Structure 1
């Protein structure tokens, strides 16, 4: 492993631990060197697994919505790892002190009932157990969100958590492409979207993730929760007001609140 990869990993790990942002890392890597960016993310995931005795429980696909891609200046998805301390039930209250620059986005999450050893769409669909509404809690270890694909990949795709709703829909029961979502800040609508915004259909994000995971010899496993990407826009997560994503087709809603008064890093 090159010293620069280890250095960037150390810098990002310290930024996360100390909640102190750093400069973007893209200038330290050759242009388009996604392999090194993913290697940096993997180093820090392994470090958290070993030091904090955490299990990997899922993955997220990011940058699947063309609107989000344009805003981020990228033309392809990315992925990050979800560890067990990153999963929360609907209605969770998280401390503002645990984040550098919190943002939030509403998605659909898939849970697998079988290992995925093929990225064929039929195999992907057969391996999905159920779908749940979800909110992704987003943070970045940089001074701002002006990230390139290298910056976000190295930073675990900016994933800091997932909040899952109570409704579980067996896969295939409804047309996920037509599921509508509205995200509210209190009573105020902040963004909305429809399932097909996500790579022309959320299952396509899972197929992309299956293919990518097989290519790096880390196949998706039974029981994993997989975030498929933002249905609407990513928005700032402001304190002391609930953010609630409301879905059509019987998915109900899922909410999360950021608490300014909790001064403990939790």
Structure 2
């Protein structure tokens, strides 16, 4: 088993560096072996840190919507790792050549002012500095998005980047359950939602991540930025048109533009 985990990690890393997609990896592992998938993701991240000189700056939570969980056949979220070269400030312009199958989703992100060494809600809330609007840039190293949960987790929970807005609101000043978001492609509305779509309250996603991080011996640290999960639907990120997520309660907006030829 350790050999196949290392082999899959190498394959995913090579797919990233050579820009060549690979077949799904779930068929090479025991069915829904999420622990093995997380070990693969960790090994790929370690390779990126060593070979590219990257450092970890945050984490993302995915699968926060019960409907999406049911489709994936899981009963809990998943998580991925955010490296320093994955964080961009709005408005951002990115080349389509940097992605395999670009998609985008709008979220709220949390930035920590202290380590989280206990996962009770009070400790989690006390560690948060501020909340900011964000978009997650979603991608994968496979031929399509017909992934199983093992495929998704192994490939860093499909996280390829984050775009942050300029507004920073101290945690506790706004009821995040009530924050509304509308995501536009140009002038076309694509999806909308409220913060309460994220596990009832985005803070619940952060608490789940804190619990999970402590369980695996990698606690959340001061300064980390944490994506809490999509408020609306995930959508295709088409090139040569501006995508903007507009938020209520003073959070402003986040803007991202993909340039270059469309993907096949």
User: Which TM bucket (shorter chain)?
Assistant: over 0.9
Q: How does 1:124-143 map to 2 (within 5 A)?
A: 124-143=124-143
The superposition leaves residues 46-73 of structure 1 with CA deviations (integer Å, 9 ceiling, x where unpaired) of: 1111111111000000111234334544
Shift of 1:212: 0.2
2:119 corresponds in structure 1 to 119
The superposition leaves residues 174-233 of structure 1 with CA deviations (integer Å, 9 ceiling, x where unpaired) of: 100010000000000001111010011100000000000000000000000000000000
Q: How many angstroms apart in 1 are the aligned matches of 2:51 and 2:18?
A: 16
Q: How does 1:1-266 map to 2 (within 5 A)?
A: 2-260=2-260
Shift of 1:75: 3.0
CA contact (8 A) 1:68 1:234 kept: no
Q: How many angstroms apart in 1 are the aligned matches of 2:246 and 2:71?
A: 24
CA contact (8 A) 2:26 2:32 kept: no
Shift of 1:116: 0.3
CA contact (8 A) 1:68 1:233 kept: no
Following TM superposition, the consecutive aligned residue runs of length 4 or more in structure 1 with deviations greater than 6 angstroms are none
Shift of 1:153: 0.5
CA contact (8 A) 2:239 2:261 kept: no
Q: How many angstroms apart in 1 are the aligned matches of 2:70 and 2:219?
A: 29
Q: How many angstroms apart in 2 are the aligned matches of 1:18 and 1:249?
A: 43
Task: Provide the alpha-carbon RMSD of the alignment.
Answer: 1.3
Q: How many angstroms apart in 1 are the aligned matches of 2:105 and 2:118?
A: 29
Q: TM-score of the superposition, structure 2-length normalised?
A: 0.97
Q: How many angstroms apart in 1 are the aligned matches of 2:80 and 2:16?
A: 15
Q: TM-score of the superposition, structure 1-length normalised?
A: 0.96
Is the deviation greater in 211-220 or in 57-66? 57-66
Aligned length: 262
Where does the alignment leave 5 or more consecutive residues of structure 1 unmatched? Answer: none
Q: How many angstroms apart in 1 are the aligned matches of 2:261 and 2:30?
A: 42
1:239/1:72 CA distance change after superposition, 3 Å? farther
